[in-house]
Structure 1
């Protein structure tokens, strides 16, 4: 429960900061009346807000799984599954993929294509690395139907991998609709949405990694000591 409340508080803070930057708290009736501009680049389009809401829903799903993970540890203590060192390489690949899509959303022409290749290849590398970790844990005796910690690891990382795979499908669809000669404004919006989605999945993965390493339990214990 504490994990969910912490997540919701974080989302509320981010949403408040985001809304304050979009001018949604302004009072238009106090402003001078003038011609309405045709475009206002400071206000994001609705589909960008929709992507942010989607990420909030996905984050809520993982927050509930994380809460169940922590509560289960408190009730029936178990030993966390030892994560191979490959987990750090996978994390680096996901960070690189997120950065590449960020640069792709701001570049154009051939440069955009290069960044899309880097982002896609590193994302696929992340998924392959996760599968290798699954194989390593299975060979070490941590099977899906075995220790509870291993079962949670497979469940959480499997769902996260499915979201990455879905993002790759969407990115491929966007990529096929682009050509190297497209102008910046034609490809910036859809690739920007993919980049936003990737950034959200990266943040979720970092939080999950902290939870799977046991750092989340220490943070929650600190919060409980402060509140009590």
Structure 2
């Protein structure tokens, strides 16, 4: 339970810091003097789509925090028997890292007006993300071939649940990425393309962070870290 509270506290701290950077609580009508004397009271330049995406990512982060907290608490029961993790998960992690890097390159290309590089980066991000999903399905297939089905024990059930939830979010992101790819190949406006690329990049970076946390938890490293902390505090 303490792990959930710590994670949620950190998440709320990040959200609070981000919102403070947007100057959403400024009250310019209460200031006295020329407008140029109070630059910190100007209306935030952040696009509403970025704010909406930030709120959505915060909700997704809280959802996975609850899942991870339930995972860690369920481990204390005697029937918890984790399945051997498929080695393909390492390759899948590399694919998602490449997708995140490709999205960052797409943002840079969009701001510099390099349309060809933008198209190539978006295409690379889409292909590596599809490869990630295919690898996750392969991991499921390997577990099933070894007899580790969803109903075998709670540890295996949690593995399918966590990877499925993350995969669904990647699949949803691919829909938005596909639309951005279509706009790039149709020659849309540069400003709109830059915004679309930025939103996709932010979402992909968030998906990568969530997956890295899940990867650490599924591999059992988080449990080992918690055991070490408990021994130090006891």
The normalised TM-score by structure 1 is 0.87
Other-structure match for 2:50:
48
3-state DSSP class of the match of 1:75? coil
Q: State the Cα deviation string for residues 165-221 of structure 1 (Å, max 9, x = none).
A: 010011112222333644532201112111111111111111111111112223333
State the match for 1:142 in structure 2: 148
Do the aligned partners of residues 137 and 10 (structure 1) sit closer, same or farther apart at CA in structure 2, a change above 3 Å counting?
same
The alpha carbon displacement at 1:66 in A equals: 1.2
2:87 is matched with which residue? 85
Aligned to 1:34: 35
Going from structure 1 to structure 2, the CA distance change for 1:227 and 1:59 (only over 3 Å counts) comes to farther
The verdict on how the C-alpha distance between 1:20 and 1:31 changes in structure 2, with shifts beyond 3 A counting, is: farther
Match of 2:185 among 179, 187, 191: 179
Which stretch of the first structure deviates more once superposed, 48-57 or 122-131?
48-57
| Contiguous gaps of at least 5 residues in structure 2 | none
Tell me the residue number matched to 1:2: 2
Match of 2:73 in 1: 71
Residues 90, 126 of structure 1: 8 Å contact kept: yes
CA distance in 2, matches of 1:31, 1:196: 38
Report if the CA contact (8 A) 2:148-2:156 is conserved: yes
Structure 2 vs 1, CA of residues 221 and 43 (structure 1 numbering), >3 Å: closer, same or farther? farther
- More RCO (CA 8 Å, sep 6+): 1
Aligned equivalent of 2:172: 166
RMSD: 2.6
- Shift, 1:111, TM fit: 0.6
Matches within 5 A, 1:197-212: 197-212=203-218
Q: Equivalents in 2 of 1:224, 1:64: separation in Å?
A: 21
TM-score, structure 2 normalization: 0.85
Q: How many residues align?
A: 226
Compute the displacement of 1:55 (Å).
0.9
Match of 1:110 among 116, 133, 144: 116
Give SS of 2:185's match. coil
